[in-house]
Amino acid sequence: MSSLRIFVVNHKNICSLHINNTCCYKIRASLKRLKPHVPLGRNYSSLPGLIGNDIKSLHSIINPPVAKIRNIGIMAHIDAGKTTTTERILYYSGYTRSLGDVDDGDTVTDFMAQERERGITIQSAAVTFDWKGYRINLIDTPGHVDFTLEVERCLRVLDGAVAVFDASAGVEAQTLTVWRQADKHKIPRICFLNKMDKIGASFNYAVESIREKLKAKPLLLQLPIGEAKTFKGVVDVVCKEKLIWSPKSDDGKDFERKPLLEMSDPKLLKETTEARNALIEQVADLDDEFADLVLGEFSENFDLLPAEKLQTAIRRVTLAQTAVPVLCGSALKNKGVQPLLDAITMYLPSPEERNYEFLQWYKGDLCALAFKVLHDRQRGPLVFMRIYSGMIKPQLAVHNINGNCTERISRLLLPFADQHVEIPSLTAGNIALTVGLKHTATGDTIVSSKSSALAAARRAEREGGKKHRQNSEAERLLLAGVEIPEPVFFCTIEPPSVAKQPDLDHALKCLQREDPSLKVKLDPDSGQTVLCGMGELHIEIIHDRIKREYGLETYLGPLQVAYRETILNSVRATDTLDRTLGDRRHLVTVDLEAKPAETSSLLPVIEFAESVGEDLSQASREAVENGIHSACLQGPLLGSPVQDVAITLHSLVIHPGTSTAMISACVSRCIQKALKKADKQILEPLMNLEVTVTRDYLSPVLADLAQRRGNIQEIQTRQDNKVVIGFVPLAEIMGYSTVLRTLTSGSATFALELSNYQAMNPQDQSTLLGRRRGLS
């Protein structure tokens, strides 16, 4: 009888096992069609949504509800711990099965050889993963000033951001830059005070620096339990609970969440109660709905206020960007990352909670922004897209408004750093990776068809009345791309032989599509190719990538600073161009005036005298403007661009039959004549410099900056260090990292950012001109 019972139980198990296997085979078969591309070397889970034995439906894996999507970025100063935090997030969400380390060069998001060698992030990397039923598209961004554009173009497509701070340093130079960028795009954010285990870490100092320097209102949602070596966990202020990580746990997955009790933690409970009451008062000041609730039901005792009500109010305040939630932890020591993930899903917005005005014009049709291009040897250009409305599928023909061309998406992928999973469709709110778009560049707006774009333009025109009639219809629909900063460094680049020049041109063309801040131009005098970049490191990385990815041993000339030129007085010039080409005579006479512009302007300010402007045709007007712009590209002193000039055209006599090219040439020649007659001034780029140095080495650093024509603004105290803030000409700061390392025995760090262009003094200007002419 007992053996019969055992047989029946076993038979039941066999049946259930058969059913489970059948289900798994079906799901595996459907997943096989997704073709995950997983290389050897890292241990990844198979697909977003398949964590352990948790098998979800295919549709929920690919297209979760919009309310459950979070598009977030991780941003910070260099070395605050962005990539380590990202690595821990991926590990705890189940997407990697081993903890990567920046020092070991095996992190998921730093996959370029240059990133792994230097231990810094150069390219932003997109990762898609799930956490407690939410789909999170996370982008790890660089912290180095040379790659500020990478941060800018990623923030453009994000709905929320996590600002990571070094708890021992608080707000640093690049933190201010990325915070300003997030303000510009109106992005709600939360703060994570990382490195709480580091010697010198101070929670109060970091919070105060956020309040003082970023002019933000920090909401303390957590308090640390211990600091520096004694840091062992955090207190959840909202729920009055403590989270302690087990010292025996190697990976930080095991932690205890216990309520704070009067018996066991009287001091901690008192601190937490005070912090919670202060938090409630702070949120009530910022949110009227919550204030009514607090004053009505819970005015006598704040302890009775439910955590859910407080969390809802904190979310409203965060989305309104009137305050920022602050959390703390140590990513390297695996503490505080899981509560950070919970805060991302709880307080940062979903795509439908961001208000994008242009969406109403598309009425559900496809509208997407291409925000990044990568080149893959096998697949060709890979274009990252943020889908604002509609749906993208493979083999879909799409229209590029910027390029005015139609292309076909051959394949659609889900981004996972350098790994990609092929998927059948993706809906609004998601970030997609597309294959097959050969002409799309960073900042292009993608729609379903040209007719869809025109229909949206008509709707936009009706909405905005007739006041925008002068704008072209396409311009109205362009999503704002990113402002590309002007390069400050340039150097020549040469291939190993003339036969390799086409290969170099191809490599540079591909790299320019990936990185819009890289400019390439041809020197008209020498015929050499000139690279223009954002800094020494930027050009060094480009040179290294050409060698590794395209197999070209190129030669770089010496780095040179991108100067500008201007004029100091008003001059007038006249020129006549008389040419006969074939049986046509081209005759143009120009009389114009060049003078300093009243306001600073990169492009020349063009004015037409009344007698000229009335009779001038549109084609002639464009020819004059083209001639002026081309003449101002090369100044008379160094051949640098001319800025801050105003050109007034007093007279223009054109012989019938004269081509527009001849008009442009005559105007250009006349302006060059005027610029040569004027008093000229060289403008040099001035950099904001911030040096963090210990007290012992402050004097030699200040003495060195004085030799470099530095202008010290202030010296701040940051914990045990001194922070020197000032301005230094870019020409004097080349190779500064090596000198600073030598002066301070490697203990100091510095950050640079372009401030503006300023006039050189006459002595420095004559020295520079003499050096350029080979006289000194």
Q: What are the tokens at 557?
A: 């000339």
The helix or strand, by DSSP H or E, that contains position 546, with its residue range, turns out to be helix 536-550
Concatenated DSSP letters of 656-710: TT--HHHHHHHHHHHHHHHHHHS-EEEEEEEEEEEEEEEGGGHHHHHHHHHHTT-
**Would you say 245 and 255 are in contact if contact means Cβ atoms under 8 Å apart?**
yes
Q: Is 141 annotated as a binding residue?
A: yes
Distances (CA, A) of 245 to 253, 270, 366: 8, 22, 46
Concatenated DSSP letters of 215-247: ---EEE-EEEES-GGG--EEEETTTTEEEEE-T
**Would you say 510 and 552 are in contact if contact means Cβ atoms under 8 Å apart?**
no
Query: Could you say which DSSP state residue 25 is in?
Result: H
Q: Is 508 helix (H, G, I), strand (E, B) or coil?
A: helix
Residues whose CB falls within 8 Å of the CB of residue 28, separated by 6 or more in sequence, listed in order: none
Strand boundaries in 113-216, DSSP class E? 125-131, 134-140, 160-166, 189-194
Strands 711-718 and 749-759 come out as unpaired
Q: Is 76 annotated as a binding residue?
A: yes
Please give the Cα distance from 552 to 546 (Å, whole number).
6
Gyration radius of the chain's alpha carbons: 30
* Residue found under tokens 């010039």: 573
The helix or strand, by DSSP H or E, that contains position 116, with its residue range, turns out to be helix 113-118
Query: Could you say which DSSP state residue 96 is in?
Result: B
Q: Is 82 annotated as a binding residue?
A: yes
Q: Is 140 annotated as a binding residue?
A: yes
Please give the Cα distance from 357 to 722 (Å, whole number).
46
Q: What are the tokens at 410?
A: 């051959």
Q: Is 502 annotated as a binding residue?
A: no
Please give the Cα distance from 153 to 151 (Å, whole number).
6
Q: What are the tokens at 620?
A: 């002639």
Q: Is 194 annotated as a binding residue?
A: yes
Sign of the alpha-carbon dihedral angle for 68, 314, 252, 328: positive
**Would you say 638 and 562 are in contact if contact means Cβ atoms under 8 Å apart?**
no
Strand boundaries in 440-486, DSSP class E? 445-447
Residues whose CB falls within 8 Å of the CB of residue 323, separated by 6 or more in sequence, listed in order: 216, 217, 218, 219, 282, 283, 286, 317
Q: Is 735 annotated as a binding residue?
A: no
Please give the Cα distance from 116 to 492 (Å, whole number).
27
Please give the Cα distance from 419 to 108 (Å, whole number).
9
Q: How many CB atoms lie within 10 A of CB 64?
A: 20
Q: Is 595 annotated as a binding residue?
A: no
Q: Is 397 annotated as a binding residue?
A: no
Least Cα distance to 152 among 133, 119, 122, 177 occurs for 177
Q: Is 463 helix (H, G, I), strand (E, B) or coil?
A: helix
Please give the Cα distance from 753 to 704 (Å, whole number).
19
* Residue found under tokens 């070209």: 552
Query: Could you say which DSSP state residue 120 is in?
Result: S
User: String of b and e for 214-235 (b: at least 16 CB within 10 Å)?
Assistant: bebebbbbbbbbebbeebbbbb
Q: What are the tokens at 688?
A: 């904001």
* Residue found under tokens 């002068």: 470
Q: Is 628 helix (H, G, I), strand (E, B) or coil?
A: helix
Q: Is 143 annotated as a binding residue?
A: yes
Q: Is 655 annotated as a binding residue?
A: no
- Amino acid at residue number 7: F
Distances (CA, A) of 269 to 235, 256, 261, 273, 329: 9, 17, 7, 6, 19
Q: Is 558 annotated as a binding residue?
A: no
The helix or strand, by DSSP H or E, that contains position 182, with its residue range, turns out to be helix 173-184
Q: Is 654 annotated as a binding residue?
A: no
* Residue found under tokens 């966990």: 233
* Residue found under tokens 């991108």: 562
Query: Could you say which DSSP state residue 761 is in?
Result: P
Binding-site residues, in ranges, read: 76-83, 140-144, 194-197
Binding-site residues for GTP, in ranges, read: 76-83, 140-144, 194-197
